[in-house]
Amino acid sequence: MDYIHLTSTLAKRVVESRDSENYDLPPWAIGIVILTVVVFTPFLLFTGYTMKTIYPTLAMVEDPNPPAYEAVPVNEDADPETAASAPLQKAITASLRAINRLLFSVAGWKANFRGIVCALAIALAQGFVGGIFASIPFLGMIGTLLTALALVQLETAWVHIVISSPSKLAFYKRLPPFRKTFEATCVPILVFWAARTLSVKMPLLVAALLHLPIWEPHKGKDIPKYDSSVSWKGPIVALVGIAISVLLVIPAQVILVRVQASLLPPEEDAIVPFDRSFEGTVEPAIVGGKGYVTWKDSFRTFTRASWIRLYVLYFKVFLVETALSILFMAVIIPEVVFLSNKSDKAN
């Protein structure tokens, strides 16, 4: 959810709805709204980055049946009891608390934001490279695919940073070879791109067929006015989006992340149980093999228990994000109403 756009839109609509008169907010009003957003930002970052990207990535690569795996804390200040010193009988990523304890045992609270510098670099690179492709008229949506293919090294390095023990090397020094990474990930990237594109376009198509206007805050549009039909049209559009995400986007991402993880250098250790051989399907490059898992074996070796664990994890994260969203709105909406009531009529 785009809280900043939503906040500004709500404020505008509340003020404009007051008998079509002009009102001026007091000078300190914007400061209160900004302060609220600043207070919530760490929580939004934790849910939006840590829980929605790091947690699932670890779940996608964790081996649910490791041979006598024992988690060893890398963080010297970590409490030994939080490092799970006994052999694990249950997958770490089956519990949000267990994942949090693992990350803390690895590198303290900073581990919750591991890879964030690389993620920012990816965002900047996507903007730059994507802008170049967007300037070519005939490419259209293909430009986003070409951008993803051009940045295979950065995306793969981010996965390696997230799943491996802390390293003193900067993220740009951990970039895998481009050719090998491209060969390994080009098909999974294509599948993931197609699934994500479909997840965006299909709900819009269904909404258009149902004559349901869609609010697009990033385009600066006001919240559209809905009639009573939204009570059944809205859920249909939402269900279409959810179904595509569950059945296509997440499986495509699992395949891609596992292929990227298979490129983890041998000298780097994973912080979760990780079967580098993918049930013996990966032949090391040193003996003439590819040195990475194929997209088919990546999918095939992800067990039914792992699928269930991943979807349950996503559902738990969704509940946390929803609770935080409700809390944010419970604070910001009364603030907007209060500030609009305090506004003075413009003379």
Q: What is the pLDDT of residue 309?
A: 95
Q: Is 140 within a domain?
A: no
Whether pLDDT at 178 is above 90: yes
Q: What is the mean pLDDT of residues 208-219?
A: 73
Tell me the per-residue pLDDT of 282-307, one tens digit each, with 9 for 90 and over: 877 776 678 899 999 999 999 999 99
Indicate the number of domains in the chain: 1
Q: What are phi and psi of 345, to 5 degrees?
A: -65, 135
pLDDT at 86 over 50: no
Three-class SS string for 89-132?
CCCHHHCHHHHHHHHHHHHHHHHHHCCHHHHHHHHHHHHHHHHH
Nearest residue to 74 via CA among 275, 272, 266: 272
221/255: higher pLDDT: 255
Q: Decide if 60 is inside a domain.
A: yes
% of the chain beyond a pLDDT of 90: 52
Structure-block tokens of residue 173:
């020094």
Provide the pLDDT for residue 171.
Answer: 92
Which comes out higher in pLDDT, residue 76 or 297?
A: 297
Q: What is the DSSP string of 297-329?
A: HHHHTS-HHHHHHHHHHHHHHHHHHHHHHHHHH
Condensed to tens digits (0 to 9), the pLDDT of residues 135-154 reads: 888 888 899 999 999 999 99
pLDDT of residue 6 exceeding 80: no
CA 31 to chain CA centroid, Å, is 30
User: Is residue 324 assigned to a domain?
Assistant: yes
How far apart are alpha carbons 70 and 67 in whole angstroms? 9
239 assigned to some structural domain: no
Contact at 8 Å (CB) between 153 and 170? no
In a domain, 24, yes or no: yes
Instruction: Please say if the pLDDT value at position 19 is more than 60.
Output: no
Kindly state whether residue 294 falls inside one of the protein's structural domains: no
Lowest mean pLDDT among 8-12, 45-49, 61-65, 137-141: 8-12
Nearest C-alpha neighbor of 60 from the set 314, 277, 237? 314
Phi and psi of 124, rounded to 5°? -65, -45
| Cβ contacts of 302 within 8 Å, gap of 6 or more | 60, 254, 258
Q: Where are the alpha helices (DSSP H) in the chain?
A: 3-16, 29-45, 55-61, 96-107, 116-134, 142-150, 152-163, 178-209, 230-244, 250-261, 295-300, 304-342
- Report yes or no on 172 lying in a domain: no
Q: In this structure, is residue 231 part of a structural domain? A: no
* Strand-pair category, 344-345 with 23-24: antiparallel
pLDDT in tens, 102-116: 999 988 888 899 999
The domain in which residue 58 lies consists of: 1-64+304-347
